[in-house]
Amino acid sequence: MIIQPQIQGVVARSCHPFGCQAAVSEQIAKSQTQQSSSDALPKRVLILGASSGFGLASRIALAFGPAKADTIGVSFERGVSDKGIGSAGWYNNIFFHQAAEQDELVSTNIVGDAFSSEIREQVAKAIEQDLGGQVDLVVYSLATGIRPNPETGEFWRSAIRPVGESVEGYSVNFEKNSLDKVSLPPATEQEIDETIKVMGGEDWLSWMQFLTERNLLAKGCETVAYSYIGPEHTHAIYHKGTLGLAKTHLHHTRDDINTLLESIKGNANIAVCKALVTKASVFIPGLTPYLLALYRVMKDKGLHEGCIEQMNRLFYGKWHDAADRDAEGLIRIDDWELRADIQLEVNALLAEMTSENFDNIGDYQGVLGEFLQLNGFAFPSVDYNQDVDIEALKALHP
């Protein structure tokens, strides 16, 4: 079977397994070059949301960088079935595990719904059996649009909406290679509440409570969740919208987790990341034109980072440096993005950008390329005209 990209709007309906292998290998190579002067690196790590984006990059950075950490990764992915080839995250898990085994690292994959009690029990068992009973770091990087209510079984659903007033803007359509105008009405109170339930800090706190009650956190254990704030240009749809309110709730939850971890001298962290092409970010209307301009400017200045560069800089550059935290104690790895000179040039490009010239004004090919690579395409090292043995893929498991 020859596998080619199948794109619908901003959704990839196919993935290439060996392109996913190339993606994992490239990130591993970047982490293997890192150095760290700290002796306090985590050695046993639980990553919730480990199969793509910042979660996968965190796992790779910690396993193949100076920490040489053993890891447990939780993700909700699917393999080959009658419905298709499976998801990119499924293959990311497989090829991460293969590479970790070669380096004699523990790399347990747990595939299932991280919101469920069943998966929590599997995680507890894996920590006891595979990591000696406790972890030094918990990375919370779940990105999903729905979360089940544990009491009723019904689902809360997030909504990407402005708050208070409608917002008009543009969004990239990768299927049609176009910049389409979008108009978003303000969120209802129910949409605000449910977005906070799905994307806020409630589940992060619940996980940390579960792990604490089971005595699965080592003394000094830390945890980190990822956030985004962005410049004024993106605030209407992000920082001041439903997503921003959810992130504000996440930030406040850090205080509750710090209180929870006092007895083991632990710590909760929020890392504010750069705007990047991820499976979640491409769904945010108005953000993709900003990404086109940002990528062009930061590449021109030699400052562009992907997820793996961000996570390497987080764990091996900023993690233990108090000077890299802002007044609220947030770790800022969006610092290069928000530099005044960067934003000045980005805003100038956005002022010129139209649906006719967006692919020349901004770095459309770069953004499109990263979107394709999320799903295993656009890697020069992979022959996409070669047949893929589906039966052989069925024998692979995370």
Structure tokens at 139: 């990375």
Q: State the first-to-last Cα distance of the chain, in angstroms, to the nearest integer.
A: 22
For the beta carbon of residue 165, count every other beta carbon within 10 angstroms: 10
Cα separation values, 104 from 25, 56, 92, 99, Å: 16, 19, 18, 9
Binding residues for NAD(+): 49-54, 76-77, 113-114, 142-143, 247, 276-278
Helices (H), 171-226: 189-199, 202-213
Structure tokens at 25: 């290998």
- H/E element, 169: strand 167-173
Buried b (16+ CB within 10 A) or exposed e, 117-143: eebbebbbebbeeebeebbbbbbbbbb
Structure tokens at 358: 């967006």
The three state secondary structure string of 227-238 is ECCCCHHHHCCC
| Phi, psi dihedrals of residue 240, rounded to the nearest 5° | -100, 5
- Choose, from 91, 170, 238, 290, the residue flagged as catalytic: 238
Binding residues for substrate: 228
Distance CA 100, CA 88 (A): 18
Distance CA 114, CA 313 (A): 27
User: Which is nearest to 74 in space by CA: 125, 17, 24?
Assistant: 125
238 part of the active site = yes
| Active site members | 238
